[in-house]
Amino acid sequence: MALAAGIGEEIVYRGYLMNYILEVGKTFEFVWWMALIIPALAFATGHIYQGWLAVIKIFYHGIVVWDYIFVLRLAIYSHCTAYFG
């Protein structure tokens, strides 16, 4: 169950939401930053039940590690495989 939830979250937040923001905002100069920050913030606030410290850690981890990899490689698979490790 946790594996399916994790992969589902990655598909929604980073697969769909990032690509949606990139497509809708393609005329904006700062669209890449929006595509990094908005999904990471939405993903992190979805974990508010774990406490504010966890939200901050998840947001930071999402921006620095996973979103950066996603933008460089444009591959959702890198996110999904993290749940197997």
- Distances in Å between the Cα of 85 and the Cα atoms of 10, 38, 55, 73, 79 are 15, 26, 22, 20, 11
Split at pLDDT 50, 70, 90, the class of 30 is: confident
pLDDT at 11: 75
Residue 28 CA to residue 45 CA, distance in Å, equals 25
Window from 5-9, 23-27, 71-75 with minimum mean pLDDT: 71-75
**3-state DSSP assignment of residue 74:** coil
| Residue 22, CA distances (Å) to 25, 52, 73 in order | 5, 28, 15
Q: Convert the pLDDT of each residue in 45-68 to its tens digit.
A: 988 999 999 999 989 888 877 666
Query: What's the rounded mean pLDDT across residues 30-50?
Result: 88
- What residue spans define the domains of the chain? 2-16+30-84
